[in-house]
Structure 1
Amino acid sequence: MGTGKRGLLAAALTVVCAVAVLAAPGTALAAPAPPPGTGSGPAPSPAPLRDKDLEQVRAKLDKLYHDAAVATDAYNAAEEKAKKQSAEIASLNKEITAGEHKLAQLKDEAGATAREQYRTGGMPPTAQFLLSDDPGRVLDGAGLVLQSQQAANHLISERSATQKQLQDYASDAAAQGKKLDADRKAKASAKKKIQQQIDAARKLESSLEETQRQRLAQLEQKAALQAQAAWLDTGILQKIHGKASAAGEKAVAFAADQLGKPYVWGAAGPDSFDCSGLTSKAWAAAGRPIPRTSQEQWRRLKHIDVKDMRPGDLVIYFDDASHVALYIGDGAVIQAPRPGRTVTVAGAGSMPILGVVRPDA
């Protein structure tokens, strides 16, 4: 990790650890002063939104972005399935090509056998042996007949097996094709929903004046600080003493190097990330590939008690496991928050924690 990144990370950790003071009861954030009027007389201006109104706006934005995150997880899951199915179809197509080549060879062998029988008058080897005038060739002839029968049986059996195998491959490819088509449709549907939620959120934000957007940002920060302070007030940080594993240190270092990069839904680097794109790439960089989506990370990785977590563990948020961040120690996480934000350091308790998972358990 570079010196600049390390300094930024240290500064962010200091802020996170000081939130209990910043968000203590009675602490209020001053509303920004209204812009002065212009011209000779008082300029008419819309009635300012009260904090109560802005809180309603913030709640609506939170829901829109949460729904976009859920749809992003669905999109990423469909994308992963589509990639896997495409690879399986490609593999099956190779098997089908190889099977067709083998079947062609068997047909050639059968044709050669038919031509040999025609050359000898169409008389099968058994008849040739029985009509032989040379008793001394009986044993040799018997062996040839047996070999001929075995070869014919093997040829027939191998051709039937190859044809059956080709039918199975074709059936599997057709089934995978249907699944691929279904997941492409699911991905397209999720993409549409993501864009709808993001567009609605941006429209709502753009309807605010600049001073209102600034105040809204203050209220968002205040809510996050208060949530972190409440989490710290439980004394949980005094119980967390886990040290990062070697792989966990690599994952944290990777995540720290991404600070400041933009959130883009469906992205997993190198220039932008969504929440699970960041955590999955961080652990891939540590040599431990993990599931791509936050919901699959929650479902498939080992669950750890919050008091036992260590740097590198993943903190899963909300009841539907729609958000994930990488724990870095001292009550902080690195996360890719939402559209319009960048990869940043935040308090681990600034959002409702569902649980913690460990990729290298």
Structure 2
Amino acid sequence: MGTVKRAHRRGASALTLLCAMAILTAPGLGLSGTAYAAPAAPSAPGAPVAPAPEPGAKSLEQIRKEIEDLYRQAGSATDAYNLAESETKVQSERIVQIAQLIVAGRERISGLKDRAGAAARAQYRSGGLPAGARLVLSDSPSQFLDSKDRLRQGEKATTDLLTELDRTQHDLQRYAKDASTVWQKLETNRVEREKSKKRIEEKIKAAQDLESKLAAEEKARLLQLEQEAQYKAQTQWLSSGAMKDVNGKATDAGKRAVQFATAQMGKPYVWGATGPGSFDCSGLTSQAWLAAGKAIPRTSQEQLRLRKVAVKDIRPGDLIIYFDDASHVGMYVGDGAMVHAPRPGRNVTMAGAGSMPIKAVVRPDA
């Protein structure tokens, strides 16, 4: 119980620590001191208060949840878009490889046909007699034996030539079939990308339309409600003892990944973006680890496939996958905090690691 109370007290002081950005300069990027509680404190005296809603109108809290849900759906569609995009890249590269194989195969067949033609011309110059007939008509026993060996070699060469020609033709047929399959996948991915893009744009527009109808003081209050919801979730997470005895230290690669991610703070969220001027959530985490020398999957759903670790074993640089559909990801930086690209209309920022429902913690440098 004492540990939980201390965590609560540390949670409040972490707000000041965050604003001072001390967490970004702390040696080891994972001090065991203050436990980060929230990106902002709950309502303070003098904070903007929205006018009372008209009867039957949605409350600001209802609007907040609706906007949050729309952006969540947009985030899920963004992950589907990013996955289709990365698969399209792989398939395009495969198409190029297959085309190169087909060209090489055709050149090989042309060479084999030239060899077969040369053999036919040689037979014509010999009077058209098959090699076996010339062997029988030989008068010299030694010449007979030499010719017999040459005959065997010639027969083997002819057999090998025909076998290689047949195999190359089969390869070309297989390459053509593979190319057709990959083209079909490319077209399927193109359709999926278009569908995902349309869903993303629709959800973002719906959320932006909701927010655009709010007065300035309502928008300020809306942001405050977001922060209060995060604070509440983080406080409950800390109260559960999730951070008890957590003291994992970052690896050198983990430190580099955290340094990259935190250096992007203040840059806007843009769906599908991987920097350098903007990021989406998985674009930030994948680029951070790439900067640390480790290539990881592009999307949060694919990043979920990395090696999972228990929350109690979390260390700076680990990725936290959020929500049941793995539609969001952030990078743990230590002291109960994570850095992430939240959603459209928000910038890369720091937040409590438990401010959203955690699905899993994964380790890129396992």
Question: TM (normalized to structure 2)?
Answer: 0.87
**1:32 alignment partner in structure 2:** 48
CA distance in structure 1 between the partners assigned to 2:91 and 2:83 by the alignment? 12
Q: For the structure 1 residues 226 and 149, does the alpha-carbon distance in structure 2 shift closer, same or farther, using more than 3 Å as the test?
A: same
**1:22 alignment partner in structure 2:** 41
- Counterparts in 2 of 1:209-358, with a 5 A limit? 209-298=215-304, 300-358=305-363
Aligned partner (choices 95, 102, 108) of residue 96 of structure 1: 102
Query: One-letter code of the match for 1:312?
Result: G
- SS of the equivalent of 1:315 reads strand
CA distance in structure 2 between the partners assigned to 1:250 and 1:273 by the alignment? 18
Q: For the structure 1 residues 237 and 66, does the alpha-carbon distance in structure 2 shift closer, same or farther, using more than 3 Å as the test?
A: same
- SS of the equivalent of 2:243 reads helix
Cα pair 2:307 2:363 within 8 Å, conserved: yes
Query: One-letter code of the match for 2:299?
Result: T
CA distance in structure 2 between the partners assigned to 1:21 and 1:210 by the alignment? 19
Cα pair 2:49 2:221 within 8 Å, conserved: no
Q: For the structure 1 residues 200 and 271, does the alpha-carbon distance in structure 2 shift closer, same or farther, using more than 3 Å as the test?
A: same
Greater alpha carbon shift after TM alignment, 11-20 vs 275-284: 11-20
- SS of the equivalent of 1:192 reads helix
CA distance in structure 2 between the partners assigned to 1:30 and 1:319 by the alignment? 38
CA distance in structure 2 between the partners assigned to 1:341 and 1:206 by the alignment? 15
Q: For the structure 1 residues 282 and 54, does the alpha-carbon distance in structure 2 shift closer, same or farther, using more than 3 Å as the test?
A: same
Cα pair 1:262 1:342 within 8 Å, conserved: yes
Q: For the structure 1 residues 320 and 272, does the alpha-carbon distance in structure 2 shift closer, same or farther, using more than 3 Å as the test?
A: same
Cα pair 1:332 1:347 within 8 Å, conserved: yes
Deviation at 1:121, TM superposition (A): 2.0
Q: For the structure 1 residues 8 and 176, does the alpha-carbon distance in structure 2 shift closer, same or farther, using more than 3 Å as the test?
A: farther
**2:3 alignment partner in structure 1:** none
Task: Percent identity, please.
Answer: 52
**1:128 alignment partner in structure 2:** 134
Q: Deviations over 1:185-240 (max 9, x none)?
A: 11111111101101111111111111211111111111111211222222333321
Cα pair 1:9 1:256 within 8 Å, conserved: no
Deviation at 1:108, TM superposition (A): 0.5
Greater alpha carbon shift after TM alignment, 188-197 vs 283-292: 283-292
User: What residue ranges of structure 2 are gaps of 5+ in the alignment?
Assistant: 1-17, 27-32
- SS of the equivalent of 2:21 reads helix
- SS of the equivalent of 1:161 reads helix
Cα pair 1:20 1:228 within 8 Å, conserved: no
Deviation at 1:310, TM superposition (A): 0.7
Greater alpha carbon shift after TM alignment, 180-189 vs 134-143: 134-143
State the Cα RMSD in Å: 2.5
Greater alpha carbon shift after TM alignment, 112-121 vs 337-346: 112-121
The number of residues matched between the two structures is 341
Q: For the structure 1 residues 349 and 136, does the alpha-carbon distance in structure 2 shift closer, same or farther, using more than 3 Å as the test?
A: closer
CA distance in structure 1 between the partners assigned to 2:150 and 2:37 by the alignment? 93
Query: One-letter code of the match for 1:32?
Result: P
Deviation at 1:32, TM superposition (A): 2.2
Cα pair 1:49 1:212 within 8 Å, conserved: no
User: What residue ranges of structure 1 are gaps of 5+ in the alignment?
Assistant: 1-5, 35-45
Q: For the structure 1 residues 21 and 164, does the alpha-carbon distance in structure 2 shift closer, same or farther, using more than 3 Å as the test?
A: closer
Q: Deviations over 1:290-337 (max 9, x none)?
A: 111111111x11111111101111111111111000000011000000
CA distance in structure 1 between the partners assigned to 2:49 and 2:70 by the alignment? 29
CA distance in structure 2 between the partners assigned to 1:327 and 1:157 by the alignment? 59
- SS of the equivalent of 1:236 reads coil
Deviation at 1:180, TM superposition (A): 1.3
CA distance in structure 2 between the partners assigned to 1:120 and 1:331 by the alignment? 89
> Which gives a bigger RCO, structure 1 or 2 (Cα 8 Å, sep 6+)?
2
Query: One-letter code of the match for 1:347?
Result: G
